A and B are shown apart, each in its own frame.
Chain A
Amino acid sequence: MSTTIAPPAARHGIPPGLRAARRTATAATGESAIARWILIGIALAYLFLFLGLPLFVVFEEALKKGVGAYFTALRDAELLHALRLTLLVAGIAVPLNVVFGISAAWAITKGKVRGHALLVALADLPLAVSPVIAGLTFMLLFGMQGWFGPWLRAHDIQIAFTVTAVVLATIFVTLPFVARELIPLMEEQGVTEEEAAVTLGASGWQMFRRVTLPNIRWGLLYGVVLCNARAMGEFGAVSVVSGRIRGQTTTLPLHIEILYNEYDFTAAFAASSLLAMLAVVTLAAKHLLERSHHAARARLIQEQQEKQP
């Protein structure tokens, strides 16, 4: 049995340098090969049944009329505009929610703020709201029958049925994701490391960058991936606030619905496959980040170990 124990710094990421040691440990802490393969089999079967097959259907329908029709559908100007708008909306909503997520998690877990259970619940609340209702709330605020609509109209400002409204609805729907990932993580980590850094004279920013960020990065990354995927795919809330003006406020999911309702199934599913691929790209980016980071971390540990003996 191996007695190799990871240095404290490597607790939250497993450098490849330690993988060999880990593998020997598997005999004691891992499952038998049979159990492992059964578990993998069940998990893969489940994923295949619930996720793989629907994805297959999307591509099958998209390619039903041939590859040519597929690419023709993807070159449509309105579709490309919808794609750009979706990326823009995600590009605004995700960073804002990242800032919010980090700041909420910081205030709640490190500040030991009073009533923090209430704050956590509030940050979760958007998840409890049906997307259509989420959209409706913004109509009740900015619509002509809403609280601020008439005032805004009198001042020649339009929010409802503009890209602004689409962004707002998307922020609302995806607001909890980053905070959700970070709060438990940072709570578990406590404050000792940061306090030590501050005591040693680190500035707030230094402490955040050198201590907090490395500790939370995987949770943060997951949060971003989730937030981004949901931001790009959101349909219900956006459909209420966008006004669906073609080539102006239709996001990709809205455009897909419109195509579908026009019996243009090929184009609808081609556009869907585009969204699915965007999700895969996000995931690939995450994997690359993780891998390059692991490599850097491994090098660092190796250097340290070489210095020490």
Chain B
Amino acid sequence: MTPALPRRSATSARTTPRVRSVLPGVRLTLGFTLAYLLFLVIIPLSTLFVRTARLGWSGFLEAATSPRAIAAYKLSVGTSVTAAVVNGVFGLLVAWVLTRYRFTGKSIADALVDLPFALPTAVAGVALTTLYAQNGLIGALFAPHGIKIAFTPLGITVALTFIGLPFVVRSVQPVLETLPKEIEEVAATLGADRWQTFRRVILPALTPALVAGVSLSFARAIGEYGSVVFISGNMPGRTEIAPLLIMSKLEQYDYSGATAIAVVMLLLSAVILISAGLVQRRAARRAA
């Protein structure tokens, strides 16, 4: 079916055509899963490709690879990657602190993590711009040093970091919580110092979850519109993100042009998610 197919099931495929498990409910759940995905993911998303196909190949290239679009992809990818990496580092730290230590205000800190999901993106954008504009609480600290945050790519990164943080923390947290402490104890007994234990024992166990979180944070960031438009300044060629181009195409009733850019971005983040899945599986296999 796909190259990513696990080798094990390929070899045994002959004996049982689709499913090999003594466990009940596999057919039922599989059927439900397929139907759900078909109706809610595959059919809706296929509309994008069908609509884009109306443009023809040259039309697609023209809409999806104009210099404006290329500049926008670069900006979107660059800021999204930065935000995802920042979240990878600090999200891991936050998850660690929240699961391993006890301190006052911990539940509040834990609750805060979900805020970016709950706040409508527009509100987040306005709140962040309020803070990071030149006359804002944080922006005013940097402005005297000639550093502008709001209305620059830096501001976009700040907004994307905000919306992506929960993905990393919430991906790592459950794994960290269920990580058997005995392994660390064994490592310590064997003479590993704390940093070695973390790097050699804990981090490998967390890697799949961390990769998942970072890639999700990236995928979410690259499509983000609501919060970014407030803080980005939207200057064509400089701070114009790809989703903004989609909106300006829609404003001209150019659905096909909009879906063309959307398809490019969809493929981009799908590639990231799928390769993250592969990395995850490999890491999981190595850890097992």
Using CB atoms and an 8 Å cutoff, list the residues of chain A in contact with chain B. Answer: 1, 5-6, 11-12, 22, 25, 28-31, 35-36, 39-40, 42-44, 46-47, 49-55, 57-58, 61, 99-100, 102-104, 106-108, 110-134, 136-138, 140-141, 145-147, 168, 171-172, 175, 180-181, 184-185, 187-188, 191, 194-195, 198-199, 203-204, 207-208, 218-219, 222, 225-226, 229-230, 232-233, 235-236, 252-253, 256-257, 260, 268-269, 272, 275-276, 278-280, 282-284, 287
Whether B257 sits at the interface, judged by CB under 8 Å, is no
Bound state CA distance, A233 and B220, in angstroms?
14
Closest residue to A53 on the B side, CB-wise?
B131
A137 contact set on B, CB distance < 8 A: 44-45, 47-48
Q: Mark B238-252, 1 if CB is under 8 A from A, else 0.
A: 000001001100100
B273 touches A128 (CB 8 A): yes
Closest residue to A185 on the B side, CB-wise?
B174
B44 touches A138 (CB 8 A): yes
B121 contact set on A, CB distance < 8 A: 131, 233, 235-236
B162 touches A54 (CB 8 A): yes
A29 contact set on B, CB distance < 8 A: 181, 184-185, 187-188, 194, 197
B21 touches A50 (CB 8 A): no
Bound state CA distance, A23 and B162, in angstroms?
34
A54 touches B131 (CB 8 A): yes
Taking the nearest CB of chain B, how far is it from the CB of A46, in angstroms?
5
Taking the nearest CB of chain A, how far is it from the CB of B59, in angstroms?
17
Bound state CA distance, A287 and B98, in angstroms?
13
A230 touches B127 (CB 8 A): no
Whether B107 sits at the interface, judged by CB under 8 Å, is yes
Bound state CA distance, A181 and B19, in angstroms?
23
Chain B contact patch, size range: 35 or more
Bound state CA distance, A252 and B118, in angstroms?
11
B19 touches A113 (CB 8 A): yes
- Select B173's contact among A127, A141, A222, A230, beta carbons within 8 Å: A222
Whether B235 sits at the interface, judged by CB under 8 Å, is no
Q: Mark B211-230, 1 if CB is under 8 A from A, else 0.
A: 01000100110111110000
A133 contact set on B, CB distance < 8 A: 48, 223, 246, 258-259, 262, 266
A123 contact set on B, CB distance < 8 A: 33, 37, 41
Bound state CA distance, A136 and B251, in angstroms?
13
Whether B277 sits at the interface, judged by CB under 8 Å, is yes
A172 contact set on B, CB distance < 8 A: 40-41, 44
Q: A218-B177, A222-B174 are in contact. Are A118 and B4 (CB under 8 A)?
A: yes
Whether B142 sits at the interface, judged by CB under 8 Å, is no
Most buried by B among A126, A145, A203: A126
Whether B57 sits at the interface, judged by CB under 8 Å, is no
A12 contact set on B, CB distance < 8 A: 178
Taking the nearest CB of chain A, how far is it from the CB of B204, in angstroms?
13
B212 touches A103 (CB 8 A): no
B112 touches A129 (CB 8 A): no
Most buried by A among B18, B23, B161, B243: B23
Most buried by B among A6, A116, A268: A116
Q: A43-B97, A115-B2, A180-B216 are in contact. Are A132 and B246 (CB under 8 A)?
A: yes
Whether B29 sits at the interface, judged by CB under 8 Å, is yes
- Select B40's contact among A115, A171, A195, beta carbons within 8 Å: A171
B21 touches A111 (CB 8 A): yes
Closest residue to B276 on the A side, CB-wise?
A124
A118 touches B220 (CB 8 A): no
Q: A51-B113, A57-B131 are in contact. Are A121 and B277 (CB under 8 A)?
A: yes
Bound state CA distance, A199 and B111, in angstroms?
42
B120 touches A253 (CB 8 A): yes
A58 touches B114 (CB 8 A): no
B182 contact set on A, CB distance < 8 A: 5-6
A130 contact set on B, CB distance < 8 A: 222-225, 243, 246, 262, 265
Bound state CA distance, A197 and B189, in angstroms?
36
Bound state CA distance, A111 and B23, in angstroms?
7
A39 contact set on B, CB distance < 8 A: 93, 96-97, 101
Closest residue to B4 on the A side, CB-wise?
A117
- Select B22's contact among A25, A103, A195, A225, beta carbons within 8 Å: A195
Besides A116-B6, A117-B5, 20 more A-B contacts (Cβ < 8 Å) are A22-B181, A39-B101, A57-B131, A61-B130, A107-B29, A111-B21, A123-B37, A127-B220, A127-B273, A128-B222, A140-B255, A184-B175, A184-B280, A203-B24, A222-B174, A226-B114, A233-B119, A236-B226, A257-B120, A284-B107
B259 touches A198 (CB 8 A): no
Most buried by B among A110, A113, A116: A113
Mind listing 15 A-B residue pairs with CB under 8 Å? A29-B187, A39-B101, A102-B29, A111-B26, A113-B9, A115-B2, A130-B224, A147-B47, A172-B40, A198-B23, A198-B24, A236-B226, A268-B123, A279-B118, A287-B107
A175 touches B41 (CB 8 A): yes
B262 touches A51 (CB 8 A): no
A207 touches B24 (CB 8 A): yes
Taking the nearest CB of chain B, how far is it from the CB of A172, in angstroms?
6
Closest residue to A171 on the B side, CB-wise?
B40
Taking the nearest CB of chain A, how far is it from the CB of B271, in angstroms?
9
